[in-house]
Structures are given as C-alpha cells and as structure tokens.
C-alpha cells in the first residue's frame, strides 16, 4: 500500500581514515557513521529531503524527532512527537510588514515604469515650459509655475500605480499568499499605504523641486516675480502631497473594488468628472453653487491653487485637506471590507 521512502544512497566519503578498512559498497551505513555532522547547518532536518536532482546529501544529520519516514504505516500514530524548528520564534510587527511591502513594490516592473513615466512627465513638461517662456511672462505668476502642467498628467500615473499596488495582488491571487503570511489584514493595508505614500511623495516632491528650482534659475531677471516661501512650498511639497494622496485614494479604491481596470476607471472619474461636469451644471441656475464647489475642489483646480496660478484661487491647502479627508475615509472603508470579506 505505502511505499516507504528510500533515501538516496549516501556517497562513500572520498577521504576514508587510513586505519579503517575499505568499506564495501553494499554497506553504506558504515561510512555514514564516520562522517561528521555538517557544522552549523541551521536546518538539519530540512537538508535531508533535498531535491532529488541535486547531489545526494549524506543522511547522517541529527534527527531529534525519531521515526524514519514510512517506518510502520500500519501504526500511523506511532509518532505523535511534533516538530520543533531550530529557528527561534519571534513575534512580528509593522516593521516586518513594511519591509515586505517595500520589497514587493520595488520588485515589479510596473512600479518602476509608472514612476519613471511620472517623473519624465513632470520634469520634462516642466522644463520644456520653463525653457519655452520668457521672463516677461512671470511678472504676475511665480517662476515655479511650469511644474503645474506636468502634474496634470503625472497624477494619472500615481492613480494607476496606487490602484495596481493592491489590485494586482487580487488579479494574480498573490493576496491569498500575502494574507496567509500576515493574517493581520489591517497591518498589510497600513504597510502598503505607508510604503506607497512615502515612495510617491518623495518621488513627486523631488521631481517638482527640480522643476521649481530650475524654473527660478532660468527666470530670475528684473521684473520677474520672486517666489515667496508659500509659493515654493505649494509648488513642491503641496503639489507632491496632493498627487500622493490621490494615489493613496486610488490604492484604497483598488482595495475596495479588487479589480484593476474597474478601480482605474473609477479614479479617472474622480479626477476628471469634477473638472468637466461643472461646465454643464453652471448652465442651470439652481445647480450653479454645486458646480462652483465641484470646480473648486476638482483636481486641476486644486493643483493650480497649490501652484498659485492666480491670486483668486487661494492657497490650495483647503482642497488638500478635503482630499486628505476623503482618502482617510476611503482607507477606513478599505480596511473594514478587507477584514470582512474572504480573500
């Protein structure tokens, strides 16, 4: 019925001690006993069932847990010893999840590609606009302005990446492996959010800072508006925060919808509809207020405010606050659904 496991025959050691008589090939037990245990092998039990296509591993490793495989199939409960791993067991915390998520996000090409495209768009468009404009155009607007044009497209890259960070795990089935490795699902979501947000915030802010300083450097002639500290912060950290928060919102939406295409479409709606709909809403008298509010908090308008495109727009931090609130709520929703649903 059962086929007892036959371990691959151990090789005769090449250096048999001289005082030992030569061992016939038929008795592989004798040389086994003379071989020293492999020093420092952390998983002695594990080395034994090594893959068959590898060199046969000598079978003399200490086996504290007794019965040889298939020793007596008719007494299946002869070995109720249990197995204790030689590796010490330590608890895990958020730090472990963060390290894991960092490895995950940097080891797939989509991350590198989308972030590269985002940086290329922000820096490329920003520098092109800076180079293509003259000092005269910065009498009323700060020379940090060119960064704005790149963010309009660059934010879409972060939307895509944010969605993919979670939904690709659902698409591939990786999420089951992830949750098996870390059953504290909230911790997985928190680690994903922190790693993604930090990575995208640093990347966007660095790209925007490059554009802002390059713009100020290119246009510093007389009459050019000197960017205030506020404008500088808005054009770099402010816009960087806004784009990263939008990415984080996408991640939360991706986690709730669990479907890449669906979540990206939903997020395009979130980004584009408030910019398009007001044009129609404004036509109706009664909906004018709604249209104006929608326009104020639409993504292009919020970014324009952060870059202080014109004085009427305000500083943009109120829009940033609203986005942060919406993102927070979406993350809570994502957490609740993640805990509740089967993966």
Site for another protein, rule CB under 8 A: 1-5, 43, 45-46, 48-54, 63, 65-71, 73-74, 76-87, 89-92, 96-97, 99-101, 103-104, 107-110, 168-169, 172-174, 176-184, 340, 342-343
CB of 265 to another protein, least distance (A): 22
| Cβ proximity to another protein, 68 vs 321, nearer residue | 68
CB of 329 to another protein, least distance (A): 24
CB of 167 to another protein, least distance (A): 11
How far apart are the C-alpha atoms of 118 and 145, rounded to whole Å? Answer: 18
- Residue 123 · residue 157 · CB < 8 Å: no
| Cβ proximity to another protein, 285 vs 342, nearer residue | 342
| Cβ proximity to another protein, 82 vs 132, nearer residue | 82
| Cβ proximity to another protein, 166 vs 306, nearer residue | 166
H-assigned helices in the chain: 29-34, 44-47, 94-106, 109-132, 147-172, 174-181, 185-218, 229-233, 239-257, 260-281, 288-296, 299-306, 317-340
- Residue 251 · residue 193 · CB < 8 Å: yes
Cα distances (Å, whole numbers) of residue 260 to 7, 257, 263: 48, 8, 5
CB of 229 to another protein, least distance (A): 40
| Cβ proximity to another protein, 46 vs 283, nearer residue | 46
- Residue 63 · residue 81 · CB < 8 Å: no
CB of 72 to another protein, least distance (A): 9
CB of 56 to another protein, least distance (A): 13
Quickly count: other Cβ atoms within 10 Å of residue 43's Cβ. Answer: 11
| Cβ proximity to another protein, 86 vs 221, nearer residue | 86
For the chain, the C-alpha Rg in angstroms (whole number) is: 31
- Residue 296 · residue 319 · CB < 8 Å: yes
CB of 88 to another protein, least distance (A): 9
| Cβ proximity to another protein, 43 vs 280, nearer residue | 43
How far apart are the C-alpha atoms of 175 and 179, rounded to whole Å? Answer: 6
């Amino acid at each position: 019925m059962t086929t007892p496991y036959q371990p691959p025959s151990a090789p005769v050691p090449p250096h048999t001690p001289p005082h030992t008589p030569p061992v016939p090939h038929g008795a592989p037990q004798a040389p086994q006993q003379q071989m020293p245990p492999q020093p420092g092998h952390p998983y002695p039990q594990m080395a034994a069932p090594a893959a068959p296509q590898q060199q046969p591993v000598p079978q003399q490793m200490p086996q504290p847990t007794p019965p040889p495989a298939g020793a007596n199939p008719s007494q299946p409960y002869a070995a109720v010893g249990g197995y204790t791993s030689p590796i010490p067991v330590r608890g895990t915390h958020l730090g472990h999840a963060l390290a894991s998520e960092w490895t995950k996000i940097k080891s797939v090409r989509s991350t590198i590609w989308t972030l590269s495209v985002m940086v290329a768009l922000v820096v490329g468009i920003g520098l092109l606009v800076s180079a293509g404009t003259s000092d005269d155009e910065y009498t009323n607007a700060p020379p940090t302005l060119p960064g704005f044009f790149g963010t309009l497209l660059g934010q879409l890259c972060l939307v895509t990446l944010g969605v993919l960070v979670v939904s690709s795990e659902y698409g591939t089935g990786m999420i089951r492996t992830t949750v098996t490795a870390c059953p504290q699902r909230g911790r997985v979501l928190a680690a994903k959010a922190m790693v993604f947000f930090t990575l995208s915030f640093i990347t966007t802010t660095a790209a925007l800072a490059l554009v802002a300083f390059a713009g100020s450097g290119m246009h510093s002639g007389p009459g050019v508006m000197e960017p205030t500290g506020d404008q500088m912060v808005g054009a770099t950290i402010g816009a960087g925060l806004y784009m990263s928060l939008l990415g984080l919102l996408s991640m939360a939406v991706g986690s709730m919808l669990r479907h890449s295409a669906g979540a990206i479409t939903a997020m395009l709606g979130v980004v584009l509809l408030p910019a398009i709909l007001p044009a129609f809403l404004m036509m109706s008298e009664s909906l004018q207020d709604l249209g104006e509010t929608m326009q104020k908090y639409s993504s292009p308008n919020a970014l324009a405010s952060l870059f202080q495109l014109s004085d009427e727009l305000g500083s943009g931090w109120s829009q940033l606050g609203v986005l942060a609130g919406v993102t927070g709520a979406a993350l809570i929703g994502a957490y609740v659904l993640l805990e509740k649903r089967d993966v």
